[in-house]
Structure 1
Amino acid sequence: MTNKAAILVAGGRGQRMGGPIAKQYLPVAGQPVLMRTLSVFYRVDPSLDLILVLPESDFVYWEELCSEYKFTIAHRLVAGGNSRFQSVRNGLNSLNSKTKLVAIHDGVRPFVTEEVIKESFEVAERQGSAIAVIALKDSIRKLRDDGKSFYEERQYFRLVQTPQTFQVEKIKKAFTVTELQQFTDDATVYENQGWQVTLISGNAENIKITTPEDMDYAEFIASRGLSDR
């Protein structure tokens, strides 16, 4: 049995998409988003313990989709919680006792590259964590409560993506705390223990599909094969 796992979190209802079907189940270039995401991780390592965290009420629908699309990549379903924090914790609690490394990834980021995933496991094994980030291209300004703004040096900032990969022993300990408002991702939960996170380079095409406009861009990425470069 592999000592590595990937938890794909897709517990949301897709309200910002504005349609009757949650974004994670919508097709991009003929394949539902979640199937694309699972496939990338499978290609990196077919022995990965793949865990898909969904609302429990969606389990039957997901199984029907897998049948419809003849999707046969082995994975386990875990019921999500009322927040991302709780969904990730449920996924962590389902890990096999022999699992040493875990990648936590947004299920609606189907265009992460295999290279980023591989590096995340390699760096996390050495350093304890590996957080995918990309540099900013635009100028940025910081807003104050009084409505004024001021310039910030963009080279000191990074946009955070997933996967966020960790040594299991550490990240499970981090998730034993009470959920706090500042926990915007898994890295902030990890940092709450006083541990410094290690950053790795992500890929620009690794978008988080949230809005209808994102779906249009996702179709473009898929049609051009940009994430496969």
Structure 2
Amino acid sequence: MPDRKKIAVIVAGGSGLRMGSTIPKQFMEIGGKPVLHHTINAFRHAYPDIRIVLVIPEAHSAYIAPLLVSFDAPPSITIVHGGETRFHSVKNGLATITEPAVVFVHDGVRALISPELVRRCCEGALAKGNAIPAIEVKDSLREVDDEGNLAVDRSRFRIIQTPQTFLSEQLLPAFGQPYDPLFTDEASVAERFGAEIHLVEGEERNIKITRPLDLAIAEVLLATNK
């Protein structure tokens, strides 16, 4: 297979409500830089020629200029406005892709992702059409329904992360489907369209920064680089 373009669609539609902040969480700082700075840098370190598509709410446009000046050499970023749901936001980002590519769809607030995981996902997608990072469940689980709850075998479950990575010819047609509330991530969309989903090893540190505790943990992990 010839070398393909790499495109990262970074979805950053969150607010600062759960952080208790008026600043959207993806633009808050860790290590003296906006969260999105670290997210974008991981992809650039993995593949210096990668194209970044940043999907944000139109209301957050004023935060883009400060983000860009946080880089020594400002990256080339395509800005796309988000939609009503994650599905629609990702679909808006995918609409910018017009050539065969390896497409990473990543949560903007997963700022501690390593370049190694980005490359592992790319290699998995090139080999099998898609690569979805996942980690083992370490806590006990119980399944709850209207009749009670039941212990389940946690070894049968995985925690799913991003970047969910696909060849463009698999992902783009899948997003032509009508929206379904059961589409919680890109893997569920592609699976509904007939794709077999392939998991790759994720990273414990690839946390989603959504609450003050997450921000504090991210600061420590960033400082210790462990």
Structure-1-length-normalised TM-score: 0.93
CA distance in 2, matches of 1:164, 1:69: 25
Equivalent residues of 1:2, 1:49 under 8 A apart: no
Equivalent residues of 1:53, 1:80 under 8 A apart: yes
Alpha-carbon deviations, 1:47-80, whole Å to 9, x = none?
0111111112222321134236656122221111
Q: 1:66 pairs with 40, 47, 68, which one?
A: 68
RMSD between aligned residues: 1.5
Task: Give 1:151 shift.
Answer: 1.0
The amino acid that maps onto 1:109 is R
Unaligned runs of 5+ in 2: none
Give the secondary structure class of the aligned counterpart of 1:220. Answer: helix
Alpha-carbon deviations, 1:147-204, whole Å to 9, x = none?
x211111110000000100010111111011111111111100111122100000000
Equivalent residues of 1:4, 1:99 under 8 A apart: no
Q: Does 1:105 align with 2:106?
A: yes
CA distance in 1, matches of 2:205, 2:219: 12
- Percent identity reads 38
CA distance in 1, matches of 2:73, 2:58: 19
Structure 2 partner of 1:209 = 209
Equivalent residues of 1:37, 1:111 under 8 A apart: yes
The amino acid that maps onto 1:132 is P
Structure 2 partner of 1:121 = 122
Q: 1:50 pairs with 52, 55, 71, which one?
A: 52
User: How many residues of Structure 1 are paired with residues of Structure 2 in the alignment?
Assistant: 224
Structure-2-length-normalised TM-score: 0.94
Change (3 A) 1:86 1:71: farther
Give the secondary structure class of the aligned counterpart of 2:194. Answer: coil
CA distance in 1, matches of 2:64, 2:45: 21
Task: Give 1:119 shift.
Answer: 1.1
Give the secondary structure class of the aligned counterpart of 1:17. Answer: coil
Structure 2 partner of 1:140 = 141
Runs of 4+ in 1 over 3 A off after TM superposition: 68-71
Change (3 A) 1:37 1:93: same
